[in-house]
Amino acid sequence: MFWDKDIETIDRPSLEKLQFEKLRKSLSAAASTSFYQKMFDEHNININNIKTLEHLQDLPFTTKQDLRVSYPDGMVPVSRSQIVRMHASSGTTGKSTVIFYTQKDIDDWADLVARCMVATGTHRDDVFQNMMGYGLFTGGLGLHYGAERLGCMVIPASSGNTLKQIQLMQDFETTVIHITPSYALHLVEVINEQGIDPHQMLVSKAYLGAEPYSEETRLKIENQFGIDAYNSYGMSEMNGPGVAFECTYKNGMHLWEDFYIIEIINPDTGEVLAPGEEGELVLTHINREAMPIIRYRTRDLTRIIPDQCECGRTHYRIDRIKGRTDDMLIVSGVNVFPSQIETVLMSFPEVGNNYQIVLEREDNLDRMHVKVELYSKMFHGEIKELEQLKARLRESLRALITINPRIELMEPGSLPPSMGKAKRVFDNRSI
Amino acid sequence: MPYQVSVFAENKPGKIERITSVLNENEINIRAITIADSGDYGIIKLLLDRPEEGCDLLKEKGIAATLKEIVAVKIEDKPGGLYHVASLLRENNINVDDAYGFMVKSHEESVFVFQVDNIQGAEKILKDAGFSTLRDKELYLL
């Protein structure tokens, strides 16, 4: 089953021709933005010299930091009146990375997501329960619009409230769910606790995204639920979910090359690697009016699977994400950088300079423990005061990472000092 | 004004040892000790014969310690001894944040030590009612 068979099965030479045409359009749009104008000037780049797809390699990379620098609209070539939507990447405070969309961008994105869903065998008669958060995060609305485009009945349940989720699944005969892998494991546990046999439920598919997880976790979810689970890849910088998706063969995610140009680079040298070699995924968005992004460093480690998939789709697949080239943490689906946590902690005069972040998975849910040292001079001998400090720390961090961290107050000097290469993050989750 | 030393300590083995070793090396005597526990940490409260010095020495060792003003009142070491003080505090609507007691001479004299917001006020009420509150030197040298 295909959503757009001609484009999904396009032969390689035609695909590359199409990519190049779209790249030229995106480059000239990008060149009209203040950010890229400056970047191209600084690197003496004339986009008219980009005459083949390979010439893309002559252009500099765009990073997340660049998105912050160009905040809010330094990368937007269209007028404000053409923009119909914005999203912002999760887990950032202050200057977040904001992505804009025109109506055409939203429509195209919905089509792309519909394409992903059809590749897994979903059709208009399915009932789709979306358990991803709605809002600035792209995970909720991205799949929502795609499923509607396909013609499914959509239950916009959003995340959390597990008993309500189960009731909705039963009352409306949900067949497809969109969920984080950790929440899927929690959900199936609660279903069992309720005395319901998950294998008797009508749900037959889960789209798993927003968090890294292992093949073992996928199999666990599939077996416990009696469903097929599909891997989904996306990020707000590239629209959101729908960038790459597994087909029914579940052997890598088709990355839609009529929307994105894929490069895999050596993260240290920036050198482009041959298909099949493992490195950092770099994507150029060639199908977005409101925000063309050139050679975006995703920081995700993967490889291209160059051989053709049995499903007949010709677009390259990427392998399961192996890790990150930066220190970004994904906690309950939210992207968190340790530096953000540090910024929050250091804004409290009561805590010392040293801290540790410990991540655990308890009952299939992510838990974050933050250990901070008490600053001696701010100690007044009152438990009340210390408990209030813990509550204020917890609340400030919760606002950042959306889950409640457990704060542990430590004695001054009990944590390794910040000088040198102190290990600050201990990720004990087995995914 | 008498002081106790309040020390922040993680709830882990060896914490009391670390604190008392500093006091031992400097021959500072502990007249009373109590621990307010709050899960992963606690506050150890020490009544020392040389509180200022003890507090400084602990701080020098990197320990979070602070001097805390307290009220120390002499009570009789017999049934009802504390009751009379407690009634007086209740009549004056004084809330006791934290307290402990220790015996000076069996069946004769005990001391009740407590933390309140308004120390001078509490001391005046106790004195007016005939109780003797202890000045710092008196308390430390008991």
Q: Which domains does chain B have, with CATH numbers?
A: 3-69 (3.30.2130.10), 71-140 (3.30.70.260)
Q: Which of A381, A383, A387 sits opposite B66 (nearest CB)?
A: A381
* Residues of A whose CB is below 8 A from B8: 374, 379, 386, 409, 411
Confidence of residue A312 (pLDDT cuts 50, 70, 90): very high
* Residues of B whose CB is below 8 A from A382: 43, 97
Q: Which of A379, A387, A408 sits opposite B64 (nearest CB)?
A: A379
Give CA A137 to chain center in angstroms. 9
Q: What is the mean pLDDT of residues A242-265?
A: 97
Q: Is A301 helix (H, G, I), strand (E, B) or coil?
A: strand
Q: What is the mean pLDDT of residues B27-43?
A: 92
Provide the whole-model pTM. 0.75
Torsion angles phi and psi, residue B85, rounded to 5? -70, -45
The answer to whether the CB of B139 falls within 8 A of the CB of B3 is no
Q: Is A102 helix (H, G, I), strand (E, B) or coil?
A: strand
Query: Side-chain half-sphere of A173: how many Cα atoms within 13 Å?
Result: 4
Q: Which domains does chain A have, with CATH numbers?
A: 5-326 (3.40.50.12780), 331-427 (3.30.300.30)
pLDDT in tens, A60-109: 999 999 998 998 899 999 999 999 999 987 544 456 789 999 999 999 99
Residue A383 Cα, gap to closest chain B Cα (Å): 7
**CA distances to A63, B52, B120 from B70, in Å:** 58, 14, 10
Q: Please indicate whether, in this complex, the C-beta atoms of A381 and B10 are within 8 angstroms of each other.
A: no
Radius of gyration of the CA atoms of chain B, in A: 16
| Length of chain A measured in residues | 431
Torsion angles phi and psi, residue A253, rounded to 5? -105, 125
Residues 6+ apart with CB under 8 A from A34: A70, A74
| Length of chain B measured in residues | 142
> Would the pLDDT of B125 be above 80?
yes
Q: Please indicate whether, in this complex, the C-beta atoms of A408 and B36 are within 8 angstroms of each other.
A: no
Confidence of residue A204 (pLDDT cuts 50, 70, 90): very high
The answer to whether the CB of A280 falls within 8 A of the CB of A265 is yes
Torsion angles phi and psi, residue A177, rounded to 5? -125, 155
**CA distances to A343, B1, B113, B132 from B82, in Å:** 50, 21, 11, 13
Q: Which two structure tokens, joined as six digits, stand for A411? A: 């004695």
Contacting B residues, span 38-57, partner chain A, CB-CB under 8 Å: 38, 40-41, 43, 45
Distance, in Å, from the CA atom of A46 to the CA atom of A141, rounded to the nearest integer, reads 37
Q: Which amino acid is at B102?
A: F
pLDDT at A92 (0 to 100): 44
